[in-house]
């Protein structure tokens, strides 16, 4: 597949992302998302997984540790190079969510771990993820909530002393791109209301099996308190109905 830099900042931000993630991920992944994501996977008997937007391969390695054979795809070459270097026996491929080069019903688990906010044509991507999912299989989604993404590039409203007052919400029902910067990373993300995502999953013929807006389960108490003030993430598991 010929993948070109689509101008969303990932190619130029790849090394900063790799440096910020390490092996344990950032604080939110380690203390908020990983526990619930792995909780939906371990002991379920999944055999073959596709990690859509695998980045540097951290979650693919976690899937392998959980006994699941994982294939990772990503459109950013430097991230894939790091994934292959850290996991030489892994299966990492250049690819985009909007055009998955796999036969229908190939995987019993498809994972999108905070990648939908990076994808401009997310409806096509969801349709593709559904297409390659086996009947009875699961599509596991972690995403930034629309309550946060709508003003993510603005951040907290603070008082004159720098104390965090509240997190703003504006233009929630619209769909629009925005540029987000932190730790030397500058990437284009997309805000959408939750209803836009829910409609796309339902239109792909999927059934909702799990829904959570997780909070931290570990980490420094002060950081936990800050994370509980704002609904940062949503985790959903959608299943493809079995053929009867």
Q: Could you read off the pLDDT tens digit of each residue along the chain, which spans 244 residues?
A: 444 556 789 999 999 999 998 888 999 999 999 999 999 999 999 999 999 999 999 999 999 999 999 999 999 999 999 999 999 999 999 999 999 999 999 999 999 999 999 999 999 999 999 999 999 999 999 999 999 999 998 999 999 999 999 999 999 999 999 999 988 999 999 999 999 999 999 999 999 999 999 999 999 999 999 999 999 999 999 999 987 5
- HEC readout, the chain: CCCCCCCCCHHHHHHHHHHHHCCCCCHHHHHHHHHHHHHCCCCCCCCEEEEECCCCCHHHHHHHHCCCEEEEEECCHHHHHHHHHHCCCCEEEECECCECCCCCCCEEEEEEECCHHHCCCHHHHHHHHHHCEEEEEEEEEEEECHHHHCCCCCCCEECCCCCEEECCCCCCCCCEEEEEEECCEEEEEEECCHHHHHHHHHHCCCEEEEEECCCCCCCCHHHHHHHCCCCCEEEEEEECCCCC
**Could you report the per-residue pLDDT of 34-90, keeping only the tens digit for each?**
999 999 999 999 999 999 999 999 999 999 999 999 999 999 999 999 999 999 999
For domain 10-239, give the fold.
Answer: Rossmann fold (3.40.50)
Q: Where are the domains of the chain?
A: 10-239
């Amino acid at each position: 597949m010929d993948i070109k830099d689509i101008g969303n900042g990932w190619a130029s931000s790849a090394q900063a992302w790799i440096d910020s993630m390490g092996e344990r991920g950032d604080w939110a992944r380690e203390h908020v998302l990983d526990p619930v994501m792995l909780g939906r996977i371990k002991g379920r008997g999944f055999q073959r997984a596709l990690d859509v937007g695998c980045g540097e391969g951290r979650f693919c390695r976690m899937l392998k540790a959980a006994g699941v054979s994982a294939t990772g795809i990503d459109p950013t070459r430097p991230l894939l190079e790091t994934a292959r270097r850290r996991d030489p026996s892994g299966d990492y491929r250049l690819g985009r969510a909007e055009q998955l080069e796999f036969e229908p019903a190939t995987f019993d688990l498809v994972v999108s771990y905070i990648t939908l906010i990076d994808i401009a044509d997310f409806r096509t991507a969801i349709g593709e993820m559904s297409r390659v999912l086996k009947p009875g299989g699961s599509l596991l989604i972690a995403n930034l909530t629309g309550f946060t993404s709508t003003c993510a590039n603005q951040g907290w409203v603070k008082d004159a002393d720098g104390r965090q007052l509240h997190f703003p919400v504006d233009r929630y029902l619209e769909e629009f791109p925005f540029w987000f910067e932190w730790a030397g990373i500058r990437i284009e993300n997309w805000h959408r209301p939750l209803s836009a995502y829910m409609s796309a999953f339902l239109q792909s013929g999927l059934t909702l099996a799990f829904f959570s807006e997780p909070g931290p389960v570990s980490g420094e108490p002060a950081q936990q308190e800050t994370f509980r003030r704002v609904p940062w993430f949503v985790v959903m598991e959608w299943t493809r109905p079995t053929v009867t």
